[in-house]
Structure 1
Amino acid sequence: MRETTIPSTVSQLRVRKTRGPNELSAPANLLVNVFFWLYTAACLMPLALVIIVSFSDEKGVLIHGYNFLPEAWSLEAYKFMFKDWHQILRSFGISVFLATVGTAISLILMSLYAYPISRSDFPHRHFFSFFMFFTMLFNGGLVPWYLVYTQLLDLKNTLAALMLPLLVSAFFVLLLRTFFASSIPMPLIEAAKIDGAGEIRIFSRIILPLSMPVLATVALFQVLNYWNDWFLNLVFISGSKNINLQFMMYKTMLDIQFLSSNVQASQGLSQAGGILQLPTETVRMAMAVLGIGPIVFAYPFFQKYFKKGLTVGAIKG
């Protein structure tokens, strides 16, 4: 009878580690990391260039163009822009108010509309779904839309005129409805009904916590819509009291371009003994920094809810 040999060394007992089917090798992992580092740098370089140009000297930018290493540093663009700091502060507050309050109300309204039409036991869900989808295909036109807000609702020169037109988006409503119908299990709702929960309690305690990914996505896009909007200010606001930050910067750039290209204004100022020197390129970049600066900090806030919504409310099959 053959005797089995017993391994005498630890190395013979060592089990070789096998790589999983989805695990990359060390060279492939290095290439992926290098690619994404380069991609991230390519995304950040334009933003860095905008910031650097905003702190550059206007003459150097006009002569040498945009450069990561400017000939001279200057704060003239920001000094020129903050001469009217009262209006900037007021417009900034209006933008923040519209972005926060408008987004919160918008999420509530669209969620309350999307949840009933996602329920299979709601008898009129097809009609209300088509009613919302119809608004994506046809609208009443610009003139009736303007008359409704100015003549019927009398909202001209008010903050409500800047908030109401963006409250409900048909695309986001259908997006929420699809998520509610496909990701929220119906047995979970039935179990909550058996436990005595009403519709409002089910919606607030079960549906909304489980829908954090789609709610965060819609909220992020709504914040961007409110923050970047300037067209509603152009249509409904006639003075400078209730304009937001984007429209204020838009008006400032138009004024600078008009004064820079107007020969009569330059001649009149020269005859009066002055020289018309308005920063154009550096002010444009400084306004871009001022406009995108606050909204950049919103992304980490929403990212937290993305991660939380992916793991909250897991149920066993």
Structure 2
Amino acid sequence: MKKVTLFGTLNTMFIALFSLICTIPMLLVLMVSFTDEKAIQLNGYQLFPEKLSLGAYKLLLLGSTPLYQSYMISILITVAGTLLAVFITAAAGYTLSSRHVKYRNHLAMFFFVTMVFNTGIVPWYLISTGLGLRNTIWALIIPSMIFNPFNLFLVRNYMKQIPDTLTEAARIDGANDFYIALRIFFPLSLPVLATVTLFYGIGYWNNWFNAIMLVDNKDLFPLQFLLFKLNSEISMIQSMQRTMSEVATTLPAESVKMATAILTIGPIVFFYPFLQKYFIKGLLIGSVKE
């Protein structure tokens, strides 16, 4: 039987209290999304609103905006982009961690420079349009697909901890680099790959900049950009009508913002628990050890 100590009890109470404090903002966002707009204007944000309303969700889910199509677009680019980005990062990490690659340190320095210096948006835009990505689904995938240098070094540092004896034994048996990476290094690096998968997945899911710069076709709008556009239009209508009539006060502007947050973070919240243990382990080991 485990001994209960005063420190353990106080520590548990502190963690429980801290967790509750971290949960309150999320609960507040959820409750405000179900609050009537007039009640928000009168009483502000409340955990226990005096009047509930589904107006924000009706506007988002039953309105004229192609929300469901944008959801599918976001899911498609998140899944496809994340898988491609993780594979490229894993392959590059294996290359830089392999002692058989002669100029691996020079290549690592090349990627490190890109973490320090940024060429800016103009070259990025010219290259993207020069590749013919404008108004295509690839405009939402390829510009963000090239691996992040931080993720690359995270994977490389983790793979450097894998014993060389495994590689040598596989080479003696006639295995090539592709087989070694796919059947030995990638499975053993599952924690850190799960970590970068979460990084890339969140990045693709929250990305709206590519749509602003490269997409004009409404059928290709991702969820984040569509909701950003909808919120901007509601704010504009309110500004135009505030001095003309009381119609603007009935528009669920604040509740729509909160409902937008709930709809966009929902998939990430449900997805994270499956990767939590890998995320913590991969982040710690990959970033600390050399």
Regarding TM over 0.5, the answer is yes
Equivalent AA in structure 2 for residue 231 of structure 1? F
**Matching residue within 194, 212, 231 for 2:190:** 212
1:50: how far off? 0.6
Partner of 2:49: 70
1:101: how far off? 0.9
Partner of 1:298: 271
Q: Distance in 2 between matches of 1:308 and 1:42?
A: 25
Q: Distance in 2 between matches of 1:255 and 1:24?
A: 60
CA contact (8 A) 1:259 1:266 kept: no
Do the aligned partners of residues 130 and 63 (structure 1) sit closer, same or farther apart at CA in structure 2, a change above 3 Å counting?
A: same
State whether structure 2 residue 99 is matched by structure 1 residue 120. Answer: yes
- Over residues 76-122 of structure 1, what are the superposed CA-to-partner deviations in whole Å (9 max), with x where a residue is unaligned? 11112223366100110111111111100001111111211111221
Partner of 1:4: none
1:144: how far off? 1.8
CA contact (8 A) 2:208 2:222 kept: yes
Q: Which runs of structure 2 are paired with 1:135-174 in the superposition (5 Å)?
A: 135-150=114-129, 152-167=130-145, 168-174=147-153
**Matching residue within 148, 171, 186 for 1:193:** 171
CA contact (8 A) 1:111 1:173 kept: yes
Q: TM-score, normalised by structure 1?
A: 0.83
Equivalent AA in structure 2 for residue 89 of structure 1? Y
Q: Which moved more, 1:250-259 or 1:231-240?
A: 231-240
Q: Distance in 2 between matches of 1:79 and 1:123?
A: 60
CA contact (8 A) 1:94 1:242 kept: yes
Q: Distance in 2 between matches of 1:284 and 1:306?
A: 29
CA contact (8 A) 1:256 1:278 kept: yes
Spell out structure 1 runs of 4+ moving beyond 4 A: 304-310
1:300: how far off? 2.0
Q: Which moved more, 1:115-124 or 1:82-91?
A: 82-91
1:40: how far off? 1.1
Which of 1 and 2 has greater Rg?
1
Gaps of 5+ in 2: 284-290
Partner of 2:260: 287
SS in 2 for 1:203: helix
Equivalent AA in structure 2 for residue 244 of structure 1? P
State whether structure 2 residue 85 is matched by structure 1 residue 111. Answer: no
Q: TM-score, normalised by structure 2?
A: 0.90
Gaps of 5+ in 1: 1-16, 18-22, 311-317
Partner of 2:6: 27
Q: Distance in 2 between matches of 1:83 and 1:297?
A: 24
Q: Which runs of structure 2 are paired with 1:46-125 in the superposition (5 Å)?
A: 46-84=25-63, 87-125=66-104
SS in 2 for 1:297: helix
Q: Distance in 2 between matches of 1:256 and 1:55?
A: 18
CA contact (8 A) 1:92 1:245 kept: yes
Identity %: 40
**Matching residue within 142, 158, 175 for 2:154:** 175
CA contact (8 A) 2:211 2:225 kept: yes
CA contact (8 A) 1:135 1:170 kept: yes
